[in-house]
């Protein structure tokens, strides 16, 4: 089959997939963003719709105070006996969880804590007798002590009582590369296959596989391991790993996996973070043979427009450590979005920021922001309301453009370094824009960058650029991030409204 790649663009790492009847269901990691763990659905493995989220209400994860990098790590989605299962780590929070649902669109259960299976990347598989096996990576995210990586571990689990039925057993842990993780266990043609990732999620990322006759092992490694890696190659899609196998509609096989698209002369910076890709698989002599991942972007790009005319917010909006509904509301007639800031801004851990995954390498977002009527505005700071557009990796890495009264301010925050640019504008609503384009050699060391980000506003009918910034500081590599670029609207003070929001993207030629 000829697949588009990225398959699901933007921040969508650690994909796991299950085929039930004619339907495909795919889940990805969301870390500290809520709603968490989107479920994407497809019938052809090519076109995908987001049909819901596993985590759509308080209490399912303990996200409020998770550190950056914490939260929903690496879900595994499976189907057994009429029920969908998602096993996931709520890292640095609730720990190992299993969610269930009759309908993958939701609602999902509250999440059962599984005692005695401490680690990450929990997989679920059942043998012929219905015994459940949880196979996982022995990385303790509670202590964060990655020096004590326990390799790939396995326990039989009681999924009703929420506990391991035995002490963790060590199973096959790969070829000796760093961080054996992302295990998935499959039964195929008389063997049990244990597929894992190793080499770490950076450029050394790889997929290796072993097989045995029992789900508990012992497992014998494939002499051809690793069966997938882009390490030390010039391939445009790097970091390929963390795969899950699935049968294609035509009876063949494919692997979904995460990858990155590093850019710049030294191919060092990936603006969008870890995305979901797919590649064909064939079976030879009882082992899967995986094709290198080919870049094949969808043609035509994509547009999104929200006039906020529906009281229910579009499911593509995400927020940090809080649900969008805690600070954002849409109202009909005329459709508009209201954001309320509790005094926290983009530098804080729970900003009033409502964002969407950046999906294209060339993308412009725009919105009409209103911080108060002209009559309300005093001569200086006006109403005190402030808000605008932002693009972020985390609370220490973001660029923004914001209106407060008649002051327009562009701001860049990169770790402990901050810079602002301001100018005065006439009172009233203002159209703001953030334009992401391919690296511009005129901006800093553009040829080394992932992209250029321009912070702009339409003032008196003219597009004004307050700052043009080097995009590499908002990349997965610079932020040492597991997430990706998320761009959207925010309020940093008081109450701010937005009449509309648009994004328009395409892949560079």
User: Which residues are known catalytic residues?
Assistant: 14, 181
Applying CB under 6 A, does 29 fall inside the site for ligand 6LW?
yes
| 7, 74, 171, 414: residue in contact with ligand 6LW (rule CB under 6 A) | 74
Min dist CB 29 to ligand 6LW, Å, is 5
Applying CB under 6 A, does 434 fall inside the site for ligand 6LW?
no
Applying CB under 6 A, does 184 fall inside the site for ligand 6LW?
no
Q: How far apart are CA 316 and CA 29, in angstroms?
A: 14
Q: H/E element holding 182? A: strand 181-188
Min dist CB 504 to ligand 6LW, Å, is 29
DSSP state of 387: E
If the CB atoms of residues 181 and 435 are measured against ligand 6LW, the closer one turns out to be 181
3-state secondary structure of 229: strand
Instruction: Determine the number of helices (DSSP H) and then strands (DSSP E) in the chain.
Output: 0, 38
Tokens for 342, please give them: 């509790």
In angstroms, the first-to-last Cα distance of the chain is 24
Radius of gyration of the chain (CA): 23
DSSP state of 264: T
Min dist CB 121 to ligand 6LW, Å, is 5
| 181, 402, 435, 477: residue in contact with ligand 6LW (rule CB under 6 A) | 181
Q: How far apart are CA 51 and CA 506, in angstroms?
A: 24
Nearest to 123 by CA among 171, 54, 66, 167: 171
Please give the residue whose beta carbon sits closest to ligand 6LW in the complex: 201
Tokens for 3, please give them: 């697949």
If the CB atoms of residues 121 and 507 are measured against ligand 6LW, the closer one turns out to be 121
Min dist CB 482 to ligand 6LW, Å, is 5
Which residue in this structure is represented by tokens 């321009």? 454
Q: How far apart are CA 13 and CA 205, in angstroms?
A: 13
Q: How far apart are CA 399 and CA 376, in angstroms?
A: 28
Min dist CB 114 to ligand 6LW, Å, is 16
Nearest to 45 by CA among 253, 294, 304, 236: 253
Residues touching ligand 6LW, count (CB under 6 A) = 15
Q: How far apart are CA 215 and CA 194, in angstroms?
A: 8
Q: How far apart are CA 379 and CA 419, in angstroms?
A: 25
Applying CB under 6 A, does 477 fall inside the site for ligand 6LW?
no
Min dist CB 142 to ligand 6LW, Å, is 14
| 4, 10, 13, 151: residue in contact with ligand 6LW (rule CB under 6 A) | 13
Q: How far apart are CA 455 and CA 365, in angstroms?
A: 10
Q: How far apart are CA 443 and CA 142, in angstroms?
A: 42
If the CB atoms of residues 242 and 398 are measured against ligand 6LW, the closer one turns out to be 242
Min dist CB 274 to ligand 6LW, Å, is 7
If the CB atoms of residues 71 and 372 are measured against ligand 6LW, the closer one turns out to be 71
If the CB atoms of residues 111 and 505 are measured against ligand 6LW, the closer one turns out to be 111
| 78, 242, 350, 472: residue in contact with ligand 6LW (rule CB under 6 A) | 242
If the CB atoms of residues 89 and 493 are measured against ligand 6LW, the closer one turns out to be 89
Q: How far apart are CA 414 and CA 444, in angstroms?
A: 15
Q: What are residue 89's DSSP bridge partners?
A: 73, 96
If the CB atoms of residues 137 and 385 are measured against ligand 6LW, the closer one turns out to be 137
3-state secondary structure of 129: coil
Min dist CB 385 to ligand 6LW, Å, is 37
Applying CB under 6 A, does 73 fall inside the site for ligand 6LW?
yes
Tokens for 13, please give them: 């790492």
If the CB atoms of residues 69 and 295 are measured against ligand 6LW, the closer one turns out to be 69
Considering only residues 99 to 158 of the shown chain, the ones binding ligand 6LW according to CB under 6 A are 120-121
Contact residues for ligand 6LW, defined by CB under 6 A:
13-14, 29, 73-74, 120-121, 181-182, 197, 201, 241-242, 258, 482
């Amino acid at each position: 089959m000829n697949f588009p790649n990225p398959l699901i663009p933007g921040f969508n790492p650690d994909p796991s997939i299950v085929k039930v009847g004619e339907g495909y269901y795919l889940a990805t990691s969301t870390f500290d963003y809520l709603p968490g763990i989107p479920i994407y659905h497809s019938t052809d493995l090519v076109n995908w719709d987001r049909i819901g989220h596993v985590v759509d209400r308080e209490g399912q994860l303990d996200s409020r105070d998770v550190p950056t990098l914490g939260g929903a790590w690496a879900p595994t989605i499976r189907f057994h006996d009429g029920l969908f299962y998602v096993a996931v780590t709520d890292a640095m929070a609730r720990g190992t969880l299993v969610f269930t649902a009759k309908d993958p669109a939701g609602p999902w259960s509250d999440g059962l804590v599984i005692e005695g299976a401490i680690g990450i990347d929990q997989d679920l598989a059942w043998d012929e007798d219905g015994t459940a096996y949880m196979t996982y990576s022995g990385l303790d995210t509670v202590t964060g002590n990655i020096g004590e990586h326990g390799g790939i571990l396995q326990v039989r689990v009681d999924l009703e009582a929420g506990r391991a039925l035995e002490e963790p057993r060590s199973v096959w842990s790969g070829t000796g590369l760093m961080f054996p993780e992302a295990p998935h266990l499959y039964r195929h043609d008389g063997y049990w296959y244990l597929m894992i990732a190793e080499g770490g999620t950076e450029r050394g990322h790889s997929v290796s596989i072993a097989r045995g006759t029992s789900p508990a092992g012992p497992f014998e490694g494939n002499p051809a391991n690793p069966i997938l890696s882009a390490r030390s190659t010039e391939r445009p899609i790097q970091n390929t790993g963390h795969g899950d196998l699935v049968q294609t509609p035509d009876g063949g096989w494919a692997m979904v996996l995460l990858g990155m698209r590093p850019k710049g002369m030294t191919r060092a910076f990936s603006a969008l973070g870890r995305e979901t890709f797919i590649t064909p698989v064939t079976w030879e002599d009882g082992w899967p043979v995986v094709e290198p991942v080919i870049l094949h972007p969808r043609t035509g790009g994509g547009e999104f427009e929200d006039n906020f005319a529906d009281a229910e917010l579009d499911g593509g909006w995400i927020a940090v450590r809080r649900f969008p509904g805690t600070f954002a509301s849409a109202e009909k007639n005329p459709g508009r979005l209201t954001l309320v800031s509790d005094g926290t801004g983009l530098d804080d851990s729970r900003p009033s920021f409502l964002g969407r995954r950046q999906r294209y390498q060339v993308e412009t977002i725009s919105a009409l922001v209103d911080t108060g009527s002209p009559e309300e505005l005093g001569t200086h700071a006006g109403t005190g309301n402030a808000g605008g557009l932002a693009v972020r990796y985390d609370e220490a890495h973001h660029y923004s453009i914001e209106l407060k009264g008649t002051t327009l301010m562009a701001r860049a925050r990169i770790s402990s370094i901050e810079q602002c640019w301001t100018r005065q504008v006439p009172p009233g609503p203002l159209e703001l824009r953030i334009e992401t384009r391919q690296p511009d050699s005129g901006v800093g060391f553009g040829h080394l960058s992932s992209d250029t980000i321009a912070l702009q506003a339409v003032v008196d009918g003219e597009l004004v650029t307050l700052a043009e910034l080097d995009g590499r500081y908002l990349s997965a590599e610079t932020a040492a991030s597991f997430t990706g670029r998320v761009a959207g609207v925010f309020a940093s003070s008081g109450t701010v409204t937005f009449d509309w929001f648009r994004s328009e993207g395409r892949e560079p030629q």
